[in-house]
Amino acid sequence: MTATYRDAVRSALRQALRDDPRVFLMGEDVGRYGGVYAVTRGLLEEFGPDRVRDTPLSESGFVGAGIGAALGGMRPIVEVMTVNFSLLALDQLVNHAALLRHMSGGQCGVPLVVRMATGAGRQVAAQHSHSLENWYAHVPGLTVVAPATPQDARDMLLAALREPDPVIVFEHVLLYATEGELDEQAPPAPLRGAAIRRPGRDVTLVTYGGSLAKSLAAADRLAAEGVEAEVIDLRALRPLDTATLLASVARTHRAVVVDEGWRTGGLAAEVIATIQEQGFYDLDGPLGRVCSAEVPMPYPKHLEDAALPQPESIVAAVRGLLGRDG
Amino acid sequence: MTERERGQRLLREMLRIRRFEEKAAELYQQGKIRGFLHLYIGEEAVAVGAFDALGAEDTVVSHYREHGHALARGLSMDACMAELYGKATGVSGGRGGSMHFFDVARRFYGGFAIVGGMLPIAVGLALADRLSGRQGVTACFFGDGAVAEGEFHESLNLAALWRLPVLFLCENNRYAMGTALARHQAQPDISRKADAYGLAAEAVDGMDVLAVADAARRAVSQVRATGRPFLLEARTYRFRAHSMYDPELYRAKEEVEEWKRRDPIPALADRLAAEGALTAAEREAMTAAVETEVAAAVAAAEAAPWEPVADLARHVHAEPGS
């Protein structure tokens, strides 16, 4: 069947709530409001206020409560509306969720799933448009994923719930309304590992989340010029699937990383460093990256568009690597 | 247990903490223990009194000055000392050190060293109990410094809003590291802050172990009976520096000496002696037994193995099959 990304996330949440009495949802406006992106609509009515729990605007408080509930044997799914607000819970996620197993010498597992929307593109300006996945992907102890399709949105959320340690799930805001194939009976899928979304022989485009569609659009345009791009969807940002990246580069000998985060210190830099360290002799030229411009996100559409990776800028970056400028 | 036995047990527990930490300070000077070492000396009546009111089914969350809570909870002194050494036999396998004691089998969930950070986690542990139908109170220890953190206010609100069985136990030792209470709180009466969130609260003399035990028993009973949170403020004092690096420029020696006259250990010992509940011989035997236990813990820690460097990458994620 065809479903939106939003419906796919809801399908996974509903299945998890039905299958496991330890699972409960918690977050700002997840209950009566139905979720700011309508992801949790209907779940309060179906599962009741103990399991679909509205919270005060206390990001640190309810993320910490999620950690405590996970320590106490539950399987909480905490929605932190957006990555922008997650900065108020950074202490809980980085200082506590990620470290507890280690500090306790392996005694304390935190099987917590935290979902949050990320990314720009809706003209909501500088404080609601961050793409800070790399902040979390930096931290040992966390697993960080960014499903880009409805099927992955369902499968990876269910997979995250089977993890004994904390998982952060990033959902790009522009994906919620997108449609794709969804098999609600699909068997468990791996949480980790990249996927090749489009095979190609001339250049590898490495991307994830909200930039996948842009990269595929760029690949179509390049194909019209006779350049076959292979598009890799990272899916998991920590750990990175190095083997799939290196195998692709060994075939194409060139790569461009497309990442909505800012360039400096970003995830793209990590991917490029990894390819350089382990795949240098497979390369025919320098690696490239297309990131967001180093400005806070402006409000007007023409400036926001200019700040973000776009199919045009991806095509231009590939042309540059291939010496086909203009 | 008779009153006599109970009094002697409370004294022994305070003495164990005191001597454990005095020895730890000595070992620190010898370079056997490194990193941060925050001593609880002076505050022992709070932990010992509180644990007198808590049972094995209750859950404990503590801060970075937690040696006293760990020992009063029944964590092995050998394993606590080994943790200070960083040895593999420590309560946290040596990975945590002084600030991160854990013993999940005893429901002792840390050992947290970000001030205030453990408060929401305690709320979550209580939420898990509530949702899974498990009985028990979650006791969360924190200092007066944590009261200035947003997480204190978020946690009191959440616990009260969701009616969770949390005993918030503030160990008000009058200093947030080096900043005096009156210099960091516009309203320095901490117990009054509970009003804003609809919690019951009480303040107690934290230098009197019997008073703390009585207050803790009242508070724990109320939490058990109502399922609602309670804020207990124990007014106490830290006799030693904040950590081993602290030159104590922020408080007068006279003030410290004044508080030392209220030392909870001799206070209880003298009281028991006056009531005929502790003979000189019993007191001597108790001191000797504690000395022996501390010496054995040091010997065990000295002899214990280090974790091999080859294991460095362990305990980041669950191990397969665990």
pLDDT digits (tens, 9 = 90+) for A192-214: 999 999 999 999 999 999 999 99
- The verdict on A113 and A235 lying in the same domain is no
The pLDDT value recorded for residue B322 is 65
User: Phi and psi dihedrals of A81, rounded to 5?
Assistant: 5, -65
pLDDT at residue A325 tops 70: no
Q: Residue B256, Cα to own-chain centre: how many angstroms?
A: 20
B138-143 and B59-62 as β-strands: parallel, antiparallel, unpaired? Answer: parallel
The pLDDT value recorded for residue A119 is 97
- The verdict on A138 and A283 lying in the same domain is no
The pLDDT value recorded for residue B244 is 84
Residue A181 appears among annotated catalytic residues: no
- The verdict on A32 and A118 lying in the same domain is yes
Residue tagged 């932990």 (tokens): B47
**Residue from the list A91, A106, A109 with its beta carbon closest to the beta carbon of B93:** A106
Could you tell me how many residues make up chain A?
326
pLDDT-based confidence at A188, cuts 50/70/90? confident
pLDDT-based confidence at A323, cuts 50/70/90? confident
Residue A128 appears among annotated catalytic residues: yes
Q: Which of A136, A156, A181 is the last residue of a domain?
A: A181
- The verdict on A207 and A229 lying in the same domain is yes
> How many folded domains does chain A comprise?
2
- The verdict on A98 and A200 lying in the same domain is no
Listed by number, the residues of chain A in 128-187 with a beta carbon closer than 8 Å to a beta carbon of chain B are: 140-141, 143, 164-165
Mutant choice from B57, B154, B158 vs A, greatest count of A C-beta within 10 A: B154
User: Phi and psi dihedrals of B41, rounded to 5?
Assistant: -55, 125
From the first residue on, what is the mean pLDDT of each consecutive set of 10 residues in chain B (322 residues)?
94 98 97 96 98 98 98 98 98 98 97 97 98 97 97 98 98 95 95 96 98 98 98 97 89 96 98 97 98 98 98 95 70
- The verdict on A156 and A215 lying in the same domain is no
CATH number at residue A219: 3.40.50.920
User: Is B117's CB within 8 Å of A73's CB?
Assistant: no
The pLDDT value recorded for residue B69 is 98
**Residue from the list B61, B104, B158 with its beta carbon closest to the beta carbon of A62:** B158
Q: How far apart are CA A266 and CA A272, in angstroms?
A: 10
- The verdict on A205 and A81 lying in the same domain is no
Q: Is A238 on the interface with B (CB under 8 A)?
A: no
Closest CA to B171 of B62, B20, B86, B280: B62
Return the number of CB contacts < 8 Å for A and B.
152
pLDDT at residue A259 tops 90: yes
**Can you tell me the mean pLDDT for A231-244?**
98
- The verdict on A107 and A224 lying in the same domain is no
pLDDT digits (tens, 9 = 90+) for A89-140: 999 999 999 999 999 999 999 999 999 999 999 999 999 999 999 999 999 9
- The verdict on A39 and A135 lying in the same domain is yes
The pLDDT value recorded for residue A324 is 77
The pLDDT value recorded for residue A24 is 98
Domain B3-311, what fold? Rossmann fold (3.40.50)
Mutant choice from B80, B121, B125, B306 vs A, greatest count of A C-beta within 10 A: B121
Secondary structure letter of residue B130 according to DSSP: H
- The verdict on A165 and A257 lying in the same domain is no
pLDDT digits (tens, 9 = 90+) for A274-300: 999 999 999 999 999 999 999 999 999
pLDDT at residue A326 tops 70: no
The C-alpha of B144 sits at a distance from chain A's nearest C-alpha, in angstroms, of: 18
Q: Which domain holds residue A91?
A: 2-181
Give ipTM to 2 decimals: 0.96
The C-alpha of A275 sits at a distance from chain B's nearest C-alpha, in angstroms, of: 23
- Are A65 and B121 within 8 A, CB to CB? yes
Considering only CB atoms, which chain B residues are within 8 Å of A17? none
- The verdict on A243 and A141 lying in the same domain is no
pLDDT at residue A240 tops 80: yes
Examine residue A231 and state whether it is found in any structural domain, yes or no. Answer: yes
Domain ranges of chain B: 3-311
**Can you tell me the mean pLDDT for A151-179?**
98
Examine residue A189 and state whether it is found in any structural domain, yes or no. Answer: no
- The verdict on A29 and A170 lying in the same domain is yes
CA angle B147, B221, B149 (to 5 degrees): 10
